[in-house]
Structure 1
Amino acid sequence: MSKVPLRCPACDSAMQVTQLHCPVCDTQVQGHFTVSPILHLTAQQLHFVEVFLKCRGNIREVERELGISYPTVRARLDEVIQHLGYHPSKPEESSTGLDAIVQFEHGELSFEETLEKLRKG
């Protein structure tokens, strides 16, 4: 089955869902229906969300599954969050001790920076 076209192929305006059809009993419903913002994600973003959910949000597992680094996982997650209309928190606002340790393991933070983040809690 084809993906729902969300943009008009002629003028690139947003398309509206106005009819639903049941292929079993041939019932049709007409009206103006909203679609989830998730349908507006790109194929790459949808794949990332599927892997993220499959891994239950465990960033290390997502890293392994997709073969990408911790910062790339965080960047893709932030991209999806923004695409859905939310504002991802800044790393320093959501950083935990585990985040600091993972960043240190990936060479993103020095030993001193890691200790400082752990002290700040």
Structure 2
Amino acid sequence: MKLPIYCPSCAQKLSVSKLLCTTCETEVTGKYEMPVFMQLSVEEQEFFMAFLLCSGSLKEMATQMGKSYPTVRNKLDDLIVKIKKLNDEK
């Protein structure tokens, strides 16, 4: 299940306010920014992980995904734009 990143009521970005240790039940509270990776869609996260596991080889990714190189390249370019936008919003 993907962690929600937008408020279901007003659609503003959510922030993390509590972390819990499931072993000893220690709670840490505060206001923490959501990591950029967690702000990506599940599909974008999977693409990013595949990119890393292919050592950044778009040719290898295209082969594994059964897609053309330009399609994979365009997907990566779109992801780069989104990550830059998320970084600028900080």
Which TM class, normalised by the smaller chain length?
0.7 to 0.9
Q: How far apart, in 2, do the equivalents of 1:24 and 1:31 lie?
A: 20
* 1:79 counterpart residue number: 78
SS at match of 1:25: coil
Q: Deviations over 1:21-60 (max 9, x none)?
A: 1110110011111121111111221111111111111111
Unaligned runs of 5+ in 1: 87-121
TM (norm. structure 2) is: 0.86
> Which protein is bigger by CA-based radius of gyration?
1
Cα drift, residue 3 of structure 1: 2.4
Equivalent residue pairs, number = 85
69-78 vs 2-11, which moves further:
2-11
Q: Give the structure, 1 or 2, with the largest relative contact order (CA under 8 Å, sep 6 or more).
A: 2
- Name the Cα RMSD after superposition: 1.3
- What TM-score, normalized by structure 1, do the two folds share? 0.65
Within a 5 Å distance, the mapping from 1:1-121 to structure 2 comes to: 2-85=1-84
In the TM superposition, structure 1's runs of 4+ consecutive aligned residues that sit over 2 Å from their partners are none
Conservation of the 8 A alpha-carbon contact between 2:16 and 2:33: yes
Between the aligned partners of 2:45 and 2:34, the Cα distance in structure 1 is: 15
Q: Partners in 1 of 2:60 and 2:51 — Cα distance?
A: 8
Structure 2, unaligned stretches of length 5 or more? 86-90
Distance in 2 (alpha carbons) for counterparts of 1:15 and 1:43: 17
1:41-94 deviations in whole A, cap 9, x for unaligned?
1122111111111111111110111111111111111111111116xxxxxxxx
Aligned-residue identity in percent: 34
